[in-house]
Structure 1
Amino acid sequence: MTVEALSQEEIGERLAGLPGWSLDGDRIGRTFRLASHLAATALVVHIAQVQEELNHHSDLTLGYNTVTLSVHTHSAGSRVTAKDFDLAARVQALAPAHDAK
């Protein structure tokens, strides 16, 4: 199944619905701040579970009390697609359960 890259306009419209997310080059991403390293690690594990469900994986960076997620779709020429926004929306929805800011 071919996945189409989104236009800059479509990306902007979709980002408007995801507070804290931004476009950085050919990727969308966000950094979450958490109360502790353990809390950040738990968020990484939860994100990894969602990524497995979606069969769509981001770059994740675990800091002391931060988690940074950056994603694009390799099969679309490493451009931003609806799949990236599906993942971002799922992560955005689960972040409050981890008290991620």
Structure 2
Amino acid sequence: MPPAEPLSQSETEDRLRSLPGWSVADGRLTRSYRLSSHFAATAMVVHIASIQEQLIHHSELTLGYSTIVLAVSTHDAGGALTALDFTLAERVEAIAPAHGAR
């Protein structure tokens, strides 16, 4: 598979507008979620891990008591943001409501 192409600053800003709650920090696409319990957060982490395996693209994923923090960039693109990072974020956003994440 060819390396992913980094997004331009304007492409990143455009894509970010469709992902409320997500931001770029230290060159990575990031989002925090709060859930009702540790069990709920753990279940969402497992669901995110499944999505990451499907995409063959993995984020830094931190599980707290009732929180999850994701941070993602594309290593194959030198740590830049690519369309794949936004695809992962969109997929996570799509499952978040079913887990009660806010």
Q: TM-score, normalised by structure 2?
A: 0.97
Report how far residue 2 of structure 1 moved. Answer: 2.3
Query: What is the identity, as a one-letter code, of the residue corresponding to 1:98?
Result: H
Percent identity between the aligned chains? 58
Map Cα deviations across residues 26-81 of structure 1 (whole Å, 9 max, x no partner): 10010000000000000000000000000000000000100000000000001100
Query: What is the identity, as a one-letter code, of the residue corresponding to 2:24?
Result: L
Q: Tell whether 2:37 aligns with 1:33.
A: no
**Which SS does the other structure have where 1:69 is aligned?**
strand
Count of equivalent residues: 101
Structure 1: any 5+ residue segments left out of the alignment?
A: none
Structure 2: any 5+ residue segments left out of the alignment?
A: none
Which residue of 2 is the match for residue 90 of structure 1?
A: 91
Query: What is the identity, as a one-letter code, of the residue corresponding to 1:12?
Result: E
**Which SS does the other structure have where 2:29 is aligned?**
strand
**Which SS does the other structure have where 2:62 is aligned?**
strand
Which residue of 1 is the match for residue 57 of structure 2?
A: 56
RMSD of Structure 2 on Structure 1 (CA): 0.5
Query: What is the identity, as a one-letter code, of the residue corresponding to 1:29?
Result: T
Flag as ranges the 4+ runs of structure 1 deviating above 2 A: none
Which residue of 1 is the match for residue 48 of structure 2?
A: 47
**Which SS does the other structure have where 1:64 is aligned?**
coil
Deviates more, 1:1-10 or 1:91-100: 1-10
Query: What is the identity, as a one-letter code, of the residue corresponding to 2:93?
Result: Q
Q: TM-score, normalised by structure 1?
A: 0.98
Query: What is the identity, as a one-letter code, of the residue corresponding to 2:45?
Result: V
**Which SS does the other structure have where 2:5 is aligned?**
coil
